[in-house]
Amino acid sequence: MTNGKTSKTTVGRLKSRPQFLAVRTGESRRGRTFLLEVLDRQAPDSPPRVGFTVTKKHGNAVARNRMRRRLKEAVRQSAGFAMKAGHDYVIVARREVLTVPFAELTAQLAERINGRPRPKRSEETRSRKA
């Protein structure tokens, strides 16, 4: 049984450590529930690739796998269509991924993928209390 959607884009996976480290040199887009790192590979003909990072400080294996599964499903359902060809994306999960409603998670992910990062503040404009 087919659903008639033939325009679905497939998203590749980042699997090796050098691929993840290369994406860290790109831009980062912070969010409340996750950090999105983006790298333009300068290859517009290749499909986008995505990787997921969940560190041990966010819980045991069960909790980390739940976070990863929620993020994978959010990418599969809606955010994969927003990803640009020739780009690599790494999603670094935070603990809040488990508690936020799934609809809000997918909306935040699509917003981060489409959004531009905020410019970094210069050293002169930063205020620090001494």
CA 30 to chain centroid, in Å, comes to 10
What pLDDT, on the 0 to 100 scale, is given for residue 63? 93
pLDDT band at 124 (very low <50, low <70, confident <90, very high): low
Share of the chain above pLDDT 70, in %: 81
What's the rounded mean pLDDT across residues 44-70? 91
What does the alpha-carbon distance between residue 15 and residue 49 come to, in Å, rounded to a whole number?
10
What does the alpha-carbon distance between residue 59 and residue 61 come to, in Å, rounded to a whole number?
7
Over residues 4-44, the pLDDT tens digits come to 443 455 678 888 899 889 989 888 888 888 999 999 888 88
What pLDDT, on the 0 to 100 scale, is given for residue 4? 46
